[in-house]
A and B are shown apart, each in its own frame.
Chain A
C-alpha cells in the first residue's frame, strides 16, 4: 500500500521546524538538531521497524544551516523525498543530502537579503515612525504583521516544498530559478543599499579651525558628503566587505579590527560621538 504522510504529521513536522530551528544552536552544528526534530514525526509515521527509522534519521545528521524562514522549503522537500523513498522510489542518502547541501547556500543568500535585509528593516522602519512619540502602536504593528508574515509564509513554503519534492530543485536551481534568484538578489541588493544609507551612519567629527575663527575652514564630514552623500558609511561597508571576501578574514576578526579603528579614531579626534550626561 502506498504510504502517505497525513496532514497532521506534516503540520507537526513544520511546527517543530518553525519553533525549533535554532533552539539548540552551536557554532559546530547550527541547525542540524532542529532539522532532526522536524524530520522525526515524518520518519516515525513512514517506517515501522526501528532499523529503518535509524537508517532514515542517519541521513539528516549531516550539517545543516540556512536562513530558517526561507529554508523551511528545504525541510518540506525532504519530507516529500522521504515519503517517496518509503514507497520504494529511487531516492538515496546522497540524493537527499546533495539536495540539502546544494540548496542551503543559495537559499541562505535569498533569505538573508530578502527577509532579514529587506522585510524586517522595512517593517521596523514603518513601526519606528508610528512609535515616534512614545506610542506603543508601532511595536504592536510590527508584532502582528511580522509574525503573520513569518508563520504563514513559512507554512506555505514548507507545504509547497513537500508537494514538489525533488521537482522543486529544478525550479530553484534550474534556469528559471536562476533568473528568479538573480532578480530577488538584485532587489535585495538595492534595498540593502537603501537600508545602509538610511540606518547605518558612520560620521567623523574631524575639523580644522583657523586661529581666532569661529567657523572651521575644514569640516571633513561635510566635504565628504558633498563628494558622495554617506561616503564614510559606504567606505566602511566596502572595507568590511573587502576584509571578509577578499582577505578571507572571519567576522570576529573584522569586528575586533573595528574596535581598534574606533579606539585610534577616538584618540586622534576622528570619531567623537559628542555624548554627555
Chain B
C-alpha cells in the first residue's frame, strides 16, 4: 500500500490538531481526534479503507483507554499513536496479508501503536520545549502592553512547533511507510527482546496514569477502598463500566446525603438563615 504525499500531508495536519497540547483545542483535538478509535476512522477515510482503519483503531484504543495526562505528564503521545502508528500498522497488515480483524492482525496493530506511542513522547516534550520560545515573546508583549499579540503567541506561533514536531515527523514516517515497516520488521522482530520490552512497557505505562489520578484522590490507606471496590466490581464480579458507574453513583449519593446531614444539623439547631445555600 502506497501513501501519497497528499495523504501523508493530511495525516500530518491531523497530527498537529490532535496532540496534547494540540491545535485543535483540548476537547476537539486531544480528547476527540487524538483518541485512537477516532484516529482509526480519520486514517481510514484518508487512506480509503475505513474497515481496517477502525479495526486497527479499536485495537490501539484498548491499550490507551485509561490514558490520562494529569499535570501535563504524557506517558504515550496520541498524535504518534493515531496518525503514525495507525497508518504504519495498516501498511504492515497489507504487506503481511493479514486481516485487521484477526487475532494476529490485532496483536500486530497493538504492538505498532504501543511502540510508536512510547517513542512518540519525544514529540510531546519537543513541542512543549519549542513553545517556551513563543511564551518568551508573549511575556515581552505583556510587558509592553501589546496584548493583542497574545492571540498570535497562544494560537498562531505554536503552529511552528507543530510543523517541526508533528507535521514533518508524521509526513516522513507515513510517506516512508513501506520501507519503515520493513525496517521495523528487520531490526525489531516481534519475538525479539526489544519489541517484547516495548510491548510490556506499553501495558505497564497506563498504571502510571492511573497512579497519578490516585495520588490526587488518595493520601491514606482508607482512601484506597473506593478504588479497590471498583476494581473488584470489574475484575472479580465482571460488572461493566456503565453499571459500575451506577453503583458508584449510588454510594456517592449516600455519602453526600450523610455529609449534608452532619452539616445541616448544627445549623438547624441554632436556627440561622442558612436556607440560601440551597439555591446554589
Contacts from A to B (Cβ < 8 Å): 18-30, 32-34, 36-37, 40, 43-44, 50, 53-54, 57-58, 61, 65, 67-69, 108-109, 112-113, 116-118, 120-122, 124-128, 131-136, 138-140, 142-143, 146-147, 150-151, 154, 164, 167, 171, 175-176, 178-180, 182-203, 228-230, 233-234, 236-241, 243-245, 251-252, 254-255, 258-259, 261-263, 265-267, 271-273, 275-277
**Cβ-based interface call for B4 (8 A):** no
**Cβ-based interface call for B7 (8 A):** no
Q: A30-B72, A147-B28, A194-B244 are in contact. Are A199 and B23 (CB under 8 A)?
A: no
Chosen A-B contacts, 8 in total, with CB atoms closer than 8 Å, are: A26-B131, A29-B135, A40-B151, A131-B37, A189-B223, A200-B206, A240-B210, A267-B193
A122 to B245, Cβ gap below 8 A?
yes
Residue of A109, A139, A154, A192 near B41 (CB, 8 A) is A139
Q: How far is the CB of A220 from chain B (nearest CB, A)?
A: 15
Further 4 A-B residue pairs, CB within 8 A, beyond A33-B135, A189-B214, A259-B197: A58-B142, A189-B230, A239-B207, A277-B189
Chain B residue at minimum C-beta to C-beta distance from A263: B197
- A40 partner residues in chain B, CB cutoff 8 A: 147-148, 150-151
**Cβ-based interface call for B233 (8 A):** yes
In the complex, A259→B199 CA distance in Å? 10
Interface hub of A44, A61, A254 (most chain B Cβ within 10 A): A254
A193 to B25, Cβ gap below 8 A?
no
Q: A202-B203, A244-B211, A251-B212 are in contact. Are A20 and B263 (CB under 8 A)?
A: no
A240 to B211, Cβ gap below 8 A?
yes
Chain B residue at minimum C-beta to C-beta distance from A274: B107
In the complex, A193→B227 CA distance in Å? 4
In the complex, A201→B166 CA distance in Å? 30
A143 to B32, Cβ gap below 8 A?
yes
- Top 10 closest pairs, chain A to chain B, by CB: A193-B230, A25-B21, A189-B226, A240-B211, A179-B259, A230-B235, A190-B248, A197-B234, A190-B230, A197-B235
**Cβ-based interface call for B205 (8 A):** yes
A131 to B242, Cβ gap below 8 A?
no
Q: A65-B71, A275-B111 are in contact. Are A54 and B145 (CB under 8 A)?
A: yes
**Cβ-based interface call for B178 (8 A):** no
Q: A132-B58, A229-B235 are in contact. Are A254 and B197 (CB under 8 A)?
A: no
- B72 partner residues in chain A, CB cutoff 8 A: 25, 27, 30, 65
Interface string of B227-238 (1 = CB under 8 A from A): 111111111100
Report, as a range, how many residues of chain B touch the other chain: 35 or more
**Cβ-based interface call for B61 (8 A):** yes
In the complex, A69→B38 CA distance in Å? 20
B205 to A258, Cβ gap below 8 A?
yes
- A61 partner residues in chain B, CB cutoff 8 A: 139, 142
Residue of B62, B153, B191, B208 near A255 (CB, 8 A) is B208
- B96 partner residues in chain A, CB cutoff 8 A: 277
Interface string of B172-211 (1 = CB under 8 A from A): 0000000000000100011101011101110111111011
A241 to B26, Cβ gap below 8 A?
no
In the complex, A239→B71 CA distance in Å? 20
In the complex, A195→B208 CA distance in Å? 14
**Cβ-based interface call for B239 (8 A):** yes
B218 to A189, Cβ gap below 8 A?
yes
Interface string of B38-64 (1 = CB under 8 A from A): 101100100000111011011001100
Interface string of B86-129 (1 = CB under 8 A from A): 00000000001000110010011001000000000000000111
**Cβ-based interface call for B132 (8 A):** yes
A184 to B208, Cβ gap below 8 A?
no
**Cβ-based interface call for B240 (8 A):** yes
- A19 partner residues in chain B, CB cutoff 8 A: 25, 155
B217 to A113, Cβ gap below 8 A?
yes
